[in-house]
């Protein structure tokens, strides 16, 4: 394999940490629309582009970001609750997110090679976590999911990926992260992990390279280990 000066993949790879939205599921369009509509309902502007750029933040952090931009202050707990409730309500009416082509096959391949499979997501909604367990049954286990409620600091902080390292007992040089979002890539790189980006959204590849991605691919179908 020609590396073109790019960092070399860990060898052997003992674990793969998957992000969920935008990596395993074609769900970011729905999240972008739901955030956009929820903020619009309360008189704020938050474009889909901004959703993609800030993907991976907790709901609280996302709402505070908009309040800081438009009101120069954080949102109150009540405001956060109201807007998040609205967003949850809107997305509940959307069709269920579909897993990306290639995601299940990749997990099967990894599983056959005895590679440990983890999911590290900022999401903490039961609806999505239960779907994950069902859709990737046999490969994803509840004990190997780090969700938004497991951490104090969401992405871009390295805590989610550091926690996955700690719980898996794997070292950063034995693991690969698959992410789609700038803040997720920053989080993974902050934890010292080789990070593959799949650019399934609307951002330029360069945004993902600039965030520190070690590889950038178009989709899960291009990935093999
Ligand atoms: Ca994501």
pTM over 0.85: yes
Tens digit of each residue's pLDDT (9 = 90 or more) over 120-148: 998 888 888 999 999 999 999 999 999 98
* pLDDT computed for residue 1 by the predictor: 45
Kindly tell me if the per-residue pLDDT of 3 is higher than 70. Answer: no
What's the 76 CA to ligand 1 centre distance in angstroms? 26
Tens digit of each residue's pLDDT (9 = 90 or more) over 59-101: 888 999 999 999 999 999 999 999 999 999 999 999 989 999 9
Q: What is the domain partition of the chain in residue ranges?
A: 2-27+97-222, 29-92
What's the 55 CA to ligand 1 centre distance in angstroms? 6
Q: Which CATH superfamily is domain 2-27+97-222 in?
A: HAD superfamily/HAD-like (3.40.50.1000)
DSSP 24-88: TBS-HHHHHHHHHHHHHHTT----HHHHHHTTTS-HHHHHHHHHHHHHSSPPPHHHHHHHHHHHH
Rounded to an integer, what distance in angstroms lies between the CA atom of residue 103 and that of residue 68?
37
Q: Which CATH superfamily is domain 29-92 in?
A: Putative phosphatase; domain 2 (1.10.150.240)
Rounded to an integer, what distance in angstroms lies between the CA atom of residue 176 and that of residue 216?
13
What's the 156 CA to ligand 1 centre distance in angstroms? 11
What's the 155 CA to ligand 1 centre distance in angstroms? 10
What's the 23 CA to ligand 1 centre distance in angstroms? 6
């Amino acid at each position: 394999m020609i590396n073109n000066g790019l960092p070399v993949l860990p060898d052997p790879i003992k674990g793969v940490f998957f992000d969920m939205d935008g990596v395993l599921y074609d769900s970011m369009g729905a999240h972008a629309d739901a955030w956009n509509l929820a903020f619009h309902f309360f008189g704020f502007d938050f474009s889909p582009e901004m959703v993609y750029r800030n993907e991976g933040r907790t709901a609280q952090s996302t709402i505070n970001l908009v309040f800081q931009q438009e009101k120069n202050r954080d949102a109150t707990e009540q405001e956060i609750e109201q807007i998040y409730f609205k967003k949850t309500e809107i997305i509940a009416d959307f069709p269920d997110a579909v897993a990306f082509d290639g995601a299940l096959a990749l997990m099967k391949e990894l599983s056959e090679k005895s590679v440990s499979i983890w999911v590290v997501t900022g999401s903490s909604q039961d609806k999505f976590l239960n779907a994950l367990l069902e859709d990737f049954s046999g490969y994803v286990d509840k004990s190997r999911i780090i969700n938004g409620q497991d951490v104090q600091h969401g992405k871009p902080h390295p805590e989610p990926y550091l926690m996955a390292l700690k719980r898996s007992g794997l070292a950063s040089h034995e693991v690969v992260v698959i992410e789609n979002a700038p803040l997720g890539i920053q989080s993974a790189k902050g934890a010292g992990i080789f990070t593959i980006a799949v650019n399934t959204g609307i951002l330029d590849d360069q945004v993902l390279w600039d965030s520190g991605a070690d590889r950038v691919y178009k989709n899960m179908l291009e990935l093999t280990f």
